[in-house]
Amino acid sequence: MAENNCTLKTTPGYFAVSEHIIDVAALRAALGSEADGAVVTFEGIVRNHNEGKPVRSLFYEACSELAQGEAEAIFQEAEARFGLTRIVCVHRVGALNVGDTAVFVGVSTAHRGESFDGCRFIIDAIKHRLPIWKKEEYLDGSSNWVNCQCREDSP
Amino acid sequence: MSAQTKTITVTIRYFALLREETGKASETLTLEQGTLADLYKHLQERYKLSLPIGAIRAAVNNRFCSWQTDLGEGAEIVFVPPVAGG
């Protein structure tokens, strides 16, 4: 009867910005239904290097209200293009360490092709459109807001 | 500002590099009525902001808007530096 125990609102999609560790299992549980034959999930993980520089940690900042509206617009586009049944996305903010999950995207559809394509579309759109910013802190003590062409080298 | 000039009060929220360069997360300003572009140019001068207007997007009352948008009394403005989610 009940398709799952998750109470997340997943139509057209669930989006949240969170200061807490992303509970991947709980988000996965909100995906899929008896009519869905495919679930695709993606996790963006903090890695220890970028553009040749060793990264120690990341700091993410978001404008939650604007991000919510833009995420809903992305979900509506994705739903129309790929027929996604469910969409779940959570983006972390605050200080993250190497290995932490920075973003989770999960979708479900009747068939796998639409799930793969829809998930890819959503993560790409999120990276380019959501008002979320990333500051990289490097092993040498310097830091940089990514894409802002402004490097603040430590003295 | 001349005595005839209409003034408005707006609230601006700063994020990421703009928050660091202005040294504040938000502020309320009373200024001459004008466009979003006028306001950003004013702030650029005031805080020596490093990002050119072409690198920024702007939102008023939680909607992305063009730089020619006229600001109204009580507008809540967010300037959006180049994003880097994911």
Is A44 close to B86, i.e. CB distance below 8 A?
Answer: yes
**Adjacent-strand bridge partners of A62:** A132
The answer to whether A135 faces chain B, any CB pair under 8 Å, is yes
Q: Does B71 fall in a domain?
A: yes
User: Residue range A75-95: average pLDDT?
Assistant: 96
Banded pLDDT at A2 (limits 50, 70, 90): very low
Could you tell me the domains of chain A?
14-146 (3.90.1170.40)
Of A155, A140, A146, nearest in space to A53 by CA: A140
Residue B19 has φ and ψ, to the nearest 5°, of -65, -40
CATH label of the domain that carries residue B22 = 3.10.20.30
- ipTM of the complex as predicted: 0.91
Q: Does B34 fall in a domain?
A: yes
Question: What is the token pair recorded at B78?
Answer: 């967010």
User: Residue range A12-41: average pLDDT?
Assistant: 94
Number of domains in chain B: 1
Instruction: Answer yes or no: is pLDDT of B2 > 60.
Output: no
Q: Does B86 fall in a domain?
A: no
At A149 the pLDDT is 74
With CA atoms as reference, the chain A residue closest to B13 would be A63
Q: Does B59 fall in a domain?
A: yes
Q: Name every chain A residue with its beta carbon within 8 A of the beta carbon of B86.
A: 44, 91, 102-103, 123, 126-127, 132
Tell whether omega for the bond before A12 is within 30 degrees of 0, i.e. cis. Answer: yes
Instruction: Answer yes or no: is pLDDT of A1 > 80.
Output: no
Q: Name every chain B residue with its beta carbon within 8 A of the beta carbon of A134.
A: 84-85
Domain, as residue range, for B69: 7-80
Write out pLDDT tens, residues B8-61. Answer: 999 999 999 999 999 999 999 999 999 999 999 999 999 999 999 999 999 999
Write out pLDDT tens, residues A111-142. Answer: 999 999 999 999 999 999 999 999 999 999 99
b (16+ CB within 10 A) / e for B34-59: ebbebbbeebbeeeebebeeeebbbb
